Structure 1
Amino acid sequence: MFRARQRRRRADGGAGGRTALSLAARHPHLVERVILQSSVGFLPWPDRLTRLGGRAVFDGRVEAGTWAILRLLLRVAPSLGLRLLLRDLSVLPVGQVLRNLSAGERSLLICLFASMRSGRGFVADMLPVPDCAAQVTQPTLVMATRHDRSVPFTHAESLVATIPSAELVVSQADSHMIWFGPGYSRLAATIAAFLA
């Protein structure tokens, strides 16, 4: 997720982490702080299999159908839909990830996945972009979990090693979705303190 916040206070990443970093590097007067959560860095990403599969099912001409099928699955068999989607987001067994989510978090994830569309965004995210991390001068908070299958933890380590004023916060979350599961309240407090 990428957001340029009101009053130009911060830019933050996720799938848009590289966009946030490019904005911070090229237009430092627009960004005071950078928060990257489960963010793709400038290491090679994704792997070849994901790249090929992603282009096949998320190409701009077919992605609406892909999401329609996923929404239908989430409606008629929500547990199966969650298992299918979460298995690519965690290195842990998907059953364990699901057990560690509260009923409310499972419902929220179903709603989130059911409302998603990617347009040409996911395919665009897979394109290589120039590495500008060393040019980011703003204080930067990098948050990631070692359990993320979607974006390997090495991306967070690489960003922290390259961005001059970066701090790494390791999440204990079970998946790429660090906002779900036990421990996010600690991350939220860290974000609040960073922005204060």
Structure 2
Amino acid sequence: MELEFRLDRRGDTVVLIFHGGHMRAGLPLGEEVFAAAGCTVLVPSRPGYGGTPLSTAPHFCDAVRELCADLGVDRVAAAVGISGGGPTAATMAARHPSLVDRLIMISAVSFLPYPDPVTRLGAYVVFNGATERLTWAGVRALMRLAPEAGLRLMLRGLSTLPVGTVMAALSDDDRAMLLHLFSHMRSGRGFVSDLRPTPDVTAGIDQPTLVIATRTDRGVPFAHAESLANTIRHASLVESQAHTHLVWLGTDWPSIADRIRTFLDAYA
């Protein structure tokens, strides 16, 4: 089965990361904490993103299990679900417990209804297979010609706070990272596929689970984190003070990163 992936080899500890909407294996985000811990990072592109065909969706987690076997990976320290990659990571943990030791959910979509009907309709219009290329071409042009306006536009959808407050808290490095990120995102056929309901597997997850989210996330409401923490048996909820969906930009991220490293070490 065709499957695009990135493997950054470091130490013996392997972390399996499923990124969210508009992301693919070649576009890293929020992986620094695992790199700093010396972890090898395996990042498959989810169905419909990058070089992974949408046709892999029904058997994607099984294909990732086979990929791990082909790479000589018989255990992963954690499956990490970021944003829209949350249901995939959860399904991986439930379906392949002999492979996945722990689960980490970061700003993750749960199995609650998502998104709201208005957002869903807009997403079908803006990010379908016929329009997403034009949409992202427009975003790239805006980031190049009017970066301040471009950032304000994108961040409005990621925070419940006034966009001026969010912008004022960004460092120069944050701005550069966001400009690069938004300039390289694509939806392919994956984002519209992500809008379809996914079977709830939380009752089948026995692994220790860390759920990280902020109440000011407009992209994925905090209720999703609360749902995951309440329905997964061995889950702990860590509330970030970040201003946006991108919790790595929060001033408390260093302490949360420490919590992640402790979580990885505790069950070694």
Structure-2 separation of matches of 1:45 and 1:85 = 19
Please list the CA deviations of residues 20-45 of structure 1 after superposition, one character each: whole Å capped at 9, or x if unmatched.
00111011111111110000001110
Contact 1:102/1:181 (CA < 8 Å) preserved in 2? Answer: no
Matched, 1:65 2:130: no
Matched, 1:84 2:153: yes
Q: How does 1:1-196 map to 2 (within 5 A)?
A: 2=18, 5=42, 7-14=75-82, 15-196=84-265
Structure-1 separation of matches of 2:205 and 2:247 = 24
CA RMSD in angstroms comes to: 1.3
Shift of 1:8: 2.1
Structure-2 separation of matches of 1:154 and 1:24 = 21
Structure-1 separation of matches of 2:77 and 2:141 = 39
2:142 is aligned with what amino acid? L
Shift of 1:179: 0.8
Structure-2 separation of matches of 1:110 and 1:24 = 33
Higher relative contact order, structure no. (Cα contacts within 8 Å, ≥ 6 residues apart): 1
Shift of 1:187: 1.1
Shift of 1:9: 2.1
TM, length-normalised to structure 2: 0.71
2:108 is aligned with what amino acid? S
Structure-2 separation of matches of 1:61 and 1:140 = 38
Contact 2:240/2:250 (CA < 8 Å) preserved in 1? Answer: no
Contact 2:220/2:245 (CA < 8 Å) preserved in 1? Answer: yes
Of 109-118 and 3-12, more deviation after overlay is shown by: 3-12
Shift of 1:73: 0.3
Structure-2 separation of matches of 1:188 and 1:9 = 16
Please list the CA deviations of residues 146-176 of structure 1 after superposition, one character each: whole Å capped at 9, or x if unmatched.
0001111011001110000100000000010
1:58 is aligned with what amino acid? F
Structure-1 separation of matches of 2:192 and 2:222 = 21
How many residue pairs are counted as aligned between the two chains?
196
1:159 is aligned with what amino acid? L
TM, length-normalised to structure 1: 0.96
Shift of 1:181: 3.1
SS of alignment partner, residue 79 of structure 2? strand
- Identity value in percent: 54
